[in-house]
Structure 1
Amino acid sequence: MRAVAMQDATLSVIEVPEPVPGPGEVLVEVIASGICGSDKSCLTHGEDFNRAAVGAFGTPMLDLSQSIVFGHEFVARIVSYGPGTEQKLPVGARVVSVPFLLRDQPVMLGFAGIEAPGAYAQRMLLSEALLIPVPDNVSSDAAALTEPLAVALHSLNRADVGANDVPLVLGCGPIGLAVIVLLAARGVGPIVATDLSPERRALAMKLGADVVVDPTVDSPYQAWMQAAATEDPALMAAPTALAGQPALRPTVGFECTGVPGLLQQMISGAPPGSRIAIAGINLHSESIEPAQAVVKELDLRACLYYSPEEFAQTLQMIASGAIDPTALITGHVGLDGVADAFQRLGTSPTDAKILLDPTR
């Protein structure tokens, strides 16, 4: 079969053996796969990802000595079952899944080699126990966005977002836009969003942001505090030791860029008592001033992936119409167009989520 493989920081379309499902596994045909910013980061900063993983867990995330097939955001169709499977879903059924293979040594799909390819391929393997059928009323494009929206849902849950909170979303790339979709679905607001790109600020408004800020013109932190201002003591955030009782509703910030310096910028600009969700991945050293966070009593909460329950809940929200993520999609490519799509996502302000269709 054909797949897009990364080797030596280069993407190319190659022929690879079709994977064979082992016990409890299913062979599926990829219908659509989202191109994620983390894929792009792995392409250009694979060693930095490995350094972070070794520091955290003692083992690298990527085997850069072999070809790697990306793709962890996907919707697929069941082709055949391996041994020891229950086969409750019919062949041909559309499914999504948390991107892991449940083996003795679990496999992170989208970050492994050609023997367990991610969704940048015509076919891939999934664990039957993790399959979730896609309802008939959900388009394949929308289903392919289950994974990135689950990332956003996890970020909201990690930040303990409540109905009275006023959020600031720093960065309107795919992560920030997905966070805006979920905040709007919960009725949280007003939502303040900021990005350098006017096109992405416009998309943020389309997806539910109430206030968008060009950071080269105005301070997003001033806009955030103006949006949170209240004279009602019942709505005010809890007092902090040094700042006392602010005339503000509770504030929660989402750092969705991973750009060096912006986490410290948010620490400096956030009102006392704010919660800050770190949703963007900065692969470089970051200099922050912990004393500022201490005297303001800020909560810094790093976010990664999601639980299986959050993943399933996200698909349910799409199916029920509670969220419509399709405005995030700005393009479709075939396998031969993936390398160009990576370039576009690094330079084009009009692109958010590009989907790969291996049949194109």
Structure 2
Amino acid sequence: MRRPTLSDHLARWSETNDLRCDIAASVSALAGAGIKIAELLAAGPLAGSLATVRGYHEDGDSQKELDVIADDLVREALKSAPVALLGSEEAEVAELLDPRGTLAVAVDPLDGSSNIDSNITVGTIFSILPYTGPDALLQPGSAQLAAGFLIYGPQTTLVLTVGAGTQLFVLDRASGEFVLAVERALVAPETAEYAINGSNERHWDLSIRSYVDDCRAGLEGPRAKDFNTRWVASMVADAYRILVRGGVYLYPGDGRRGYQQGRLRLVYEANPVAFLMEQAQGAATDGMSPILELEPTHLHQRVPLVFGSRAEVERIARYHNDSSAMPERSPLFGRRGLLRA
């Protein structure tokens, strides 16, 4: 039996609705750019020095050669779509593409680019919003019309939501088309896996330390079960794993300079992943509010982020909001945010 393609799926979903047709055209353009990025990544060093540092953003993050190439590929693809405004991690300000367009798109063209020369999974993350004017990208995540990411690993997969569940499409290299592999991804409500960068433990606040300590204690601890730690240092890779087998991901704010408000970007990282998780029956929070309720103040705003299996996300929030849910703590930490140092 023939599996539906991405084109089939979008055509059936959009039908004759003009706005949905515009969203479908934009998703298709992003998927096309993703195929070109996947080809470059597959060639590795044969495609040139893709991991060469080209420069640095104002916050000190490095910009690699492939960051720039991926950004150019995404921009060129979206010029053929009804996109009025494009915001990218690789540009300080949003760019007007087509004043007649109906949509605003925020994108991280290459998430996890520090892994390029290590042959580890990376991806492209995107968020699609209605175009409402120059500040269209500063709408809360709940206003998203579609979101997703492309993940470049052993398979090239598009993870997508248009607000009707979360679907997984795998690139069939023979036909050059994305083919529906999972019609409705569901995040397991409970889990025994968590993902966090343990090397930063000394900088965490008490809530995060207590949560991780309880997991590490295993069968003999308060959770009464053993946990595994998984950490790829590529958010899209961790997010994909959570979608297919459950888990929880934590990137909290911590005590280091520049990390107090987290390190991930709200508009083009946290919001699209939160939309995907919510549509797959998972959850996402900054520790105090659902990610999709937050009002961005600027394009590159950072935010603490926890997402994945709903029961575990809710438990982590309780470690902040209910002192009885965690070991006794010093009053010093009593009024601090769960994830903000």
Under a length normalisation based on structure 1, what TM-score does the superposition of the two structures give? 0.24
Higher helix share: 2
Under a length normalisation based on structure 2, what TM-score does the superposition of the two structures give? 0.25
Q: Which has the higher contact order (CA 8 A, sep 6+)?
A: 1
